[in-house]
Amino acid sequence: MRIWDIHPTDRTAIDPAGREAPRDPMRQTPRVPAGATSIEPPETSEHEAASWNGEGWELVPDWRGHVYWSEDGERHEISELGTEPPADALAEVPPEPLSGLAARKCREIDAARDHAFAEGLPLDIAGEPDVVQTRPQDKTNLLGIAIEARQLDAEGVVEAVLEFRGLSNVKRTLTPQQAIDLTNEASTYIKSIYQRSWDRKDAIDAALEAEDREGIEGVVW
């Protein structure tokens, strides 16, 4: 006699092929142990399983391991017998909403802009190569130097009296005119970085208004 062991959790046949029933040691006749049945499970189709209900087998949906996505992009995996994917389930990751894509691209532009500011402006300072730092916290220092340099220049000072340190942290002394030239170049660089970010954000906004996904995705720093 053939028997089928029943899984204690999902009540399916542990081995669909079943096994030979053990023999009663006293009577030497086949016996059905607890947690098993001599009733053969029915044939099942795809996404279907036979589950023991206490009296017999019944066919139930079996989508365990199936992965689907909801319209909001959330990933789901079915783990329980009898659970089916909803009617609006998607078989693959849905495209990112245009508004979300545009916001993400703007964040990428902001990050690239901040990186450009952090890199600074390569420049000869008092005849030596260095980098003028242009991070937000550096702009106040540059503005202060620019104001002082113009005041000294207006007073006719031509000596190197203004201290400046670039990325190398080497102390250099500049004339008012050198300081004016340096801060002018730094200001031009900072403005160009801002303008570059604004141009790209304008392109993102225009593509979003036109519902042009490829246009949004194509905007890079």
pTM score = 0.65
Indicate whether 56 and 68 sit together in one domain.
no
Taking the CA atoms of 148, 150, 152 and 155 in sequence, report the sign of the dihedral they define: negative
* Mean pLDDT of the 105-119 span: 98
Residue 29 pLDDT: 87
* Mean pLDDT of the 109-136 span: 97
Helices 176-209 + 98-119 axis angle, to 10: 170
Indicate whether 116 and 55 sit together in one domain.
no
Residue 206 pLDDT: 98
**What average pLDDT is seen over the chain?**
96
Angle at 67 between CA 61 and CA 68, to 5 degrees: 95
Indicate whether 69 and 50 sit together in one domain.
no
Indicate whether 122 and 86 sit together in one domain.
no
Residue 71 pLDDT: 87
| Count of domains observed in the chain | 3
pLDDT-derived band at 24, boundaries 50, 70, 90:
confident
Indicate whether 104 and 213 sit together in one domain.
yes
Show the domain range for 88: 64-94
Indicate whether 35 and 84 sit together in one domain.
no
Q: Where are the beta strands (DSSP E) in the chain?
A: 2-5, 19-20, 36-37, 48-52, 57-61, 67-69, 75-77, 121-125, 128-132, 162-165, 171-174
pLDDT-derived band at 26, boundaries 50, 70, 90:
confident
What is the residue type of 161? V
Residue 68 pLDDT: 97
Q: Give 33-69 pLDDT, tens digit per residue.
A: 999 999 999 999 999 999 999 999 999 999 999 999 9
Distance CA 167, CA 153 (A): 26
Indicate whether 159 and 140 sit together in one domain.
yes
Indicate whether 160 and 54 sit together in one domain.
no
Indicate whether 116 and 188 sit together in one domain.
yes
